[in-house]
């Protein structure tokens, strides 16, 4: 495998990991807000 190919794959993986991190962060934020809303209703 050429060096360029390796670097390309690594950058692809980094992008995917960034997406995954932001996705899970969004999910946990929604979860937090949802929990707070439920507490307010009671």
Q: What is the pLDDT of residue 26?
A: 93
Q: What is the pLDDT of residue 31?
A: 83
Evaluate the CA torsion angle 26, 32, 36, 37 in order and state its sign: positive
Instruction: Compute, in degrees rounded to 10, the torsion defined by CA atoms 34, 22, 20, 28.
Output: -20
What is the reported pTM? 0.52
Whole-angstrom CA distances from 22 to 15, 18, 39 are: 11, 6, 26
pLDDT in tens, the chain (42 residues): 899 999 999 999 999 999 999 999 999 998 887 766 555 555
Q: What is the pLDDT of residue 30?
A: 86
Residue written as token pair 């992008």: 15
């Amino acid at each position: 495998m050429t060096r360029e190919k390796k670097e390309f794959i690594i950058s692809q993986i980094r992008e995917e990991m960034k997406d995954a991190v932001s996705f899970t962060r969004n999910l946990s934020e929604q979860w937090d807000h949802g929990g707070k809303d439920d507490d307010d209703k009671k």
